[in-house]
Amino acid sequence: MKVSNTPGIVRTAPTGRVKRTEKADSATGTSAARTIQDTVQVMGIPPEEMTARVQQAILGLMEEVDSLRRELDHTQRRLRESEDVADTDALLPIPNRRAFVRELNRMISFAERYGTPSTLVFIDLNDMKKINDTYGHEAGDQALFHVAKTLVEHVRGTDVVGRLGGDEFGIILAQADETVGMQKAAELAEVITKNPVTLGGVSQKMSLAFGTYTFRSGDKPDDALDKADKAMYENKKEIKGEENIR
């Protein structure tokens, strides 16, 4: 290929290192013509050794690397899917207790580092034993699903709803102080009451007791859960009377 704006220079590009020859004009004593040959080295192999067999071997190696990369991507995707399954409740499409506690720990650290309060809400459903005894455990699972779906639909995307076990749920209200946390918990309790679930063709009212706890510096997830649970227990006593609790 000739470079039009540089007279006397011819550039060829077969394969890798740069060779340069100069031919002096005997009459003028200047370089009348300069030939520059560019060659390309692949993986450090000199051009003269780049035989058809070597090229074929390199192509095979590149295909093998590409295959390994695809396999790695597939494995990483499967790992992410496995982690999602391990973090999701066995019955409900929300985080299980293990995943919820991990998120709680993360949010406590965030609140402590940046000084932004967040609140934990501990929820316990009322009369689930009665529902199971009356309609069966399959209907009881349906009622739990209804509650989980309703809670998720009435919190922000930054909040976390998880199942702590049995008929107990937890909610992490991000960047919500004690007042906001209490207001939101009361609002959720009202939403659950106003949205009955249909079981066996019968509209069944649901209700819940709740307790809240706003994270403090140095808190641990288990401590926060314990304090929110105790607050929920006090709320349940007010609702049902101490002799009818749980």
Q: For residue 139, which of 93, 208, 202, 191 has the smallest C-alpha distance?
A: 202
Q: Given this model, what pLDDT does residue 31 score?
A: 46
Are the C-beta atoms of residues 131 and 139 closer than 8 Å to each other? Answer: yes
Are the C-beta atoms of residues 96 and 89 closer than 8 Å to each other? Answer: yes
> pTM here?
0.67
Tokens representing 191 are 């939403």
Q: Given this model, what pLDDT does residue 229 score?
A: 97
201 vs 2 pLDDT, higher one: 201
Question: What stretch of H or E contains 169?
Answer: strand 168-173
- Architecture (CATH level 2) of domain 97-244: 2-Layer Sandwich (3.30)
Q: Is the pLDDT of residue 82 over 70?
A: no
In this predicted model, what pLDDT tens digit does every residue of 226-243 receive, in sequence order? 999 999 999 999 887 754
In this predicted model, what pLDDT tens digit does every residue of 139-181 receive, in sequence order? 999 999 999 999 999 999 999 999 999 999 999 999 999 999 9
Q: Given this model, what pLDDT does residue 47 score?
A: 72
Are the C-beta atoms of residues 99 and 87 closer than 8 Å to each other? Answer: yes
CA distance 131 to 141: 10
Tokens representing 49 are 């050794």
Neighbours of 46 (CB within 10 A): 12
Q: Is the pLDDT of residue 6 over 90?
A: no
Least reliable range by pLDDT among 32-46, 111-125, 202-216, 227-241: 32-46
CA distance 163 to 88: 9
For the chain, helix, strand, coil in percent to 5 are: 50, 25, 25
Contacts of 33 (CB under 8 A, 6+ apart): 8, 22, 23
Q: How confident is the model at residue 16 (pLDDT cuts 50, 70, 90)?
A: very low
Q: Given this model, what pLDDT does residue 7 score?
A: 42
Tokens representing 239 are 């609702």
Average pLDDT score over the chain = 82
Quick one: what percent of the chain has pLDDT higher than 90? 57
CA 28 to chain centre: 74
Q: For residue 47, which of 9, 19, 21, 20 has the smallest C-alpha distance?
A: 19
Residue 83 φ/ψ, nearest 5 degrees: -65, -40
